[in-house]
Amino acid sequence: MAQECCNTDEKDTIKKMPAAAGKPKEHEHKEGENHDHEDDEHEEDDGHNHGADDSDDWKSHWPLLTSLAILLVMLVLEFGFKFKPVFPVDLIIYVAAYLLAGYNVLNLAFRKAIRFDFFNEFFLMSVATIGAFAIGSYSEGVAVMVFYSIGEWFQDAAVNRAKRSIKALLDIRPDEVTVMRNGNTEVIHPNEIQVDEIIQVKAGEKVALDGELNSDAATFNTAALTGESKPDTKRKGEQVLAGMINLDKVSEIKVKSLFKNSKLSKILEMVQDATARKSQTQLFISRFAKIYTPIVFALAVAVCLIPYFFADPYIFNVWFYRALVFLVISCPCALVVSIPLGYFGGIGLASKNGILFKGSNFLDVITKVNVVVMDKTGTLTKGVFKVQDVVTKDIDKEELVKLTAALESNSTHPIAKAVVEYAGDNAKSLKAENVEEVSGHGLKGTVDGKNIFAGNVKLLKKFNIEYPAEIDNLVDTVVVIAVNDKYAGYITIADEIKEDAKLAIDEMHKLNIKTVMLSGDKQAVVSKVAQTLNVDNAYGDLLPEGKVEKVQALKNEGKHIAFVGDGVNDAPVVALADAGIAMGGLGSDATIETADIVIQNDQPSKIVTAMKIGKITRSIVWQNITIAMVVKVIVLVLGAGGVATLWEAVIADVGVALLAILNAVRIQRMKM
C-alpha cells in the first residue's frame, strides 16, 4: 500500500536488529496505543531503496545519475541550442534514460499489479510517466521518474541514517569480557558469565554486565545510559551498569546480573520495541493513504474523461496530460515518510537525553498530560537516608554516635545504615553483644558494658524509659537512644531532596501542569517535602491501593495523568496512568517494565524534558502534514486547470517531500 513508500516501515528496522532478551509488555492498553496491524499485512522487504545500502554509496546509484546526466544533456541541446534529435533517436535516448532511472519503480509496480494491488505510488508513477511518453512528452516523462527517484534516494538516506543510530546503540554492548577464574584471566562472551563472578574492565573499555565495584574506586562515563557525559566516580560496593565506560585504571566488578538481564539489554529491547509502536497520527496517515490513493486515481480519470461532455472542442491529449499532472502531484510520499521519521527523531532525541519512550504513541500521549503525579522516595528524593542532627543529654555527642552505630551495625535497615555511615570508622571501634531486635521498635544490646536501646519512641515506651515529649512532634525520622535505661538523646534522619526536584516542579507550573505527590511515608514528612518543593497537593500514609485510588479519582475528573515512580509498589499506578514514567536508575524492574517512559538518570527535571520533546515532535509532524497537504492541493487545482505542467508537479512533489524530511531530521539535531 501507499505506506510502503520510501521503505520507512519501522518493522523493517526491527528485522535487521538482533533480538533482545525479554518478553513483550502486557500493559499495552493505554491511550494512544493501537495494535491494529491491518496496515502491516502488506509490509514487505521489497521497498524501493533503488539499490541503496546503509552506506548510501554514490556508486550504487550510477544508473540514476547516468539518467540524470542524459536528461540534462538533452534539455541543454533542445532548449539551449535549439537542437532536437529526430524521431526515433530521441525516443530511444529518452527510453534508455527512463529505464535507467525507473527500473526499480517499474519492477515494483509490475509485482504489485500481478497481485491486483494497483493503488500504490509505484503504479501511480509508472502510469503517469508511461502516459507522458504516450502523448510525446518524452523529456517530462523522464524528468518525473528521475526526480521522483532522486527524492526517494534522499528519503532512503534519511531513513538509513535513523536506522544506523539504532544500530550504533546496539553496538555499545561489548562482544567479549575478561573474567577471573581459578586465579587466571580468560576472555569470553558475556553470555557465558555467571552471577557473582569477577570481571576485569580495562581503562577505555565498556562494562559488559551489571554488578558492583570490587575495586576501591573507579570513574565511569555513563552517557550511554543516562545521556550525561559527566564522569561518575563509584566506590567499592556501589552499583556499576553495563554500557558504562571505565575512564581510569583496571577495575574489578562482581557480576550481579546475567547479560540478558542487564539494564542495558533492557534499554535496547525498549528502543527496538519503540520503533514498532505507532502513534495515532501515523496510524491515521497510513489508513488515509489507503483511501487517498484510489480516490486520486478516480479523480485523475474524471479529469481526463468528464470534460468530454462539457469542453468544446475536447482534445484528449490535453486532458490526459492534466490527469497525469494530477497523478504525479498526488503521491503521498511526503506524508508517509516524514511522519514516522519525525517520531523516530523524537525517540532518538529523547534517548540522547537519557529518556526512553517505549513507542512513538507515547510522544503524543505526554503532550496531553495536565497532571503529573509523583512518588516521593526515589523520585523527588534520593531514597538515601542521611543523618541530619544529633541531640544529646548528659553524654558526649561523639560517644553517643559511637555507641548507637555499634548497635545499629547489626541491622540491615536503611536507617541503621545511615547511622553507621555517619559514624564512619567510629562504628568499627566498638562491638555490640547480646543484640536483640524488638520487632517494629528497634534494637537493644550491650556495648562497652553499657545497655543500649536504639529505635523509635515505642521502644522506650515498651521498656518504661521516659523521654522528652517534644520528640513526638518531630517531622523527620527519629532514632531515640537510651543508655543504661536512661534517655540519652536522639538522631534525626531524613531522605535528601534531589538537586533538580524544585526546578522540575517550577518548570511544570510554568507549563500549567498541576503537581501531586503520593507517598507511603507519614503525612508530616510528605507535607514538609511538598512545602519545600511547592507541590500543589501531597498525600501521605498511603498503601499501594491508596495510590491507585488517588490516581483513579483524578482520571475520573477527566485529567490526563502522568505518574512517576520507582518502587515495586508503584507498578500498579504506573500501569493505570495515561503515561507511566519510571526512574530507571534506582527503579525496580517491575516498574521499568510497566512504564511507558523511562528516565535513566533519575532526574525529575527530565520529566519536563520529555514533555518538551513530545511537543516538539508533534509540532514538526503537523508542520509536515500541513505543508504537504497545502502544496498538493494548490498544484492539484492548478494541474486540473491546465496551469501546472508535469515539471511543476514533480518539482513540487519532490520538493515538499524533501522539505518535510529535512524538517523531521532536524529533531535529532536539537539540543535540550
Confidence category of residue 17, pLDDT binned at 50, 70, 90: very low
**Domain end among 235, 250, 265:** 265
Burial of 80 by CB count in 10 Å (0-12 exposed, 13-18 middle, 19+ buried)?
exposed
Interhelix angle 138-170/62-75, nearest 10 degrees: 150
Question: Is there a contact between 173 and 268 (Cβ–Cβ < 8 Å)?
Answer: yes
Report the b/e string of 311-321 with b at 16+ CB within 10 A.
eeeeeeeebbb
pLDDT in tens, 594-631: 778 888 778 899 999 999 999 999 999 899 888 888 88
Residues with Cβ within 8 Å of residue 19, at least 6 apart in sequence: none
Residue 1 has pLDDT above 50, yes or no: no
- Percent with pLDDT over 70 in the chain: 81
Together in a domain, 550 and 626 = no
pLDDT in tens, 102-137: 899 899 989 988 998 887 778 878 888 898 898 888
Output the pLDDT for position 160: 65
More confident residue, 78 or 455: 455
Same domain, 6 and 142: yes
Q: Is 375 a catalytic residue?
A: yes
593 and 524 housed in the same domain = yes
Which of 44-58, 79-93, 320-334, 572-586 has the least mean pLDDT? 44-58
Q: Both 364 and 312 in a single domain?
A: no
pLDDT digits (tens, 9 = 90+) for 637-669: 888 888 888 888 878 877 887 888 888 878 877
Tell me how many domains the chain contains: 4
The grid cell for 436 is: 536483640
Q: For 206-248, how does the pLDDT look when each residue is reduced to its tens digit (9 = 90+)? A: 888 888 999 888 888 776 555 455 577 888 888 888 878 888 7
Of 211, 241, 265, the position where a domain reaches its end is 265
Question: How large is the average pLDDT for residues 189-209?
Answer: 88
395-432 tens-digit pLDDT? 999 999 999 999 998 887 778 888 998 988 776 778 89
The secondary structure element, H or E, covering residue 134 is helix 121-134
Rounded percentage of the chain residues whose pLDDT exceeds 90: 26
Kind and range of the H or E run holding 640: helix 605-640
* Nearest residue to 205 (alpha-carbon basis) of 170, 256, 252: 252
CA-to-CA distance for 254 and 213, rounded, in angstroms? 6
21 band by pLDDT with thresholds 50, 70 and 90? very low
Expressed as residue numbers, the domain containing 446 is 383-496
Active-site residue identified among 375, 495, 566, 578: 375
The pLDDT of residue 164 is: 58
565 and 481 co-located in one domain: no
Are residues 465 and 510 located together in one domain of the fold?
no
Q: Are 625 and 604 in a shared domain?
A: no
Using the structure block, give the residue that is written with the C-alpha cell 474524471: 302
> SS3 sequence, 460-494?
HHHCCCCCCHHHHHCCCEEEEEEECCEEEEEEEEE
Q: Pick the last residue of a domain from 496, 529, 555.
A: 496
Give the whole-angstrom CA distance, residue 343 versus residue 349: 10
Residues 154 and 45 in one domain: yes
Same domain for 505 and 519, yes or no, is yes
Using alpha carbons, list the distances in angstroms from residue 351 to 346, 578, 600.
9, 21, 9
Whole-angstrom distance, CA of residue 229 vs CA of residue 353: 10
Q: What is the DSSP letter of 333?
A: H
CATH code, domain carrying 234:
2.70.150.10
Evaluate whether 576 touches 549 at the Cβ level (below 8 Å): no
What angle, rounded to 10 degrees, do the helices at 121-134 and 138-170 form?
A: 160
Q: What is the pLDDT of residue 161?
A: 63
Low-confidence winner among 6-10, 512-516, 551-555 (lowest mean pLDDT):
6-10
Which residue type, as a one-letter code, is found at position 230?
K
21 and 134 both lie in a single domain: yes
Confidence of residue 173 (pLDDT cuts 50, 70, 90): low
Q: Which amino acid is at 231?
A: P
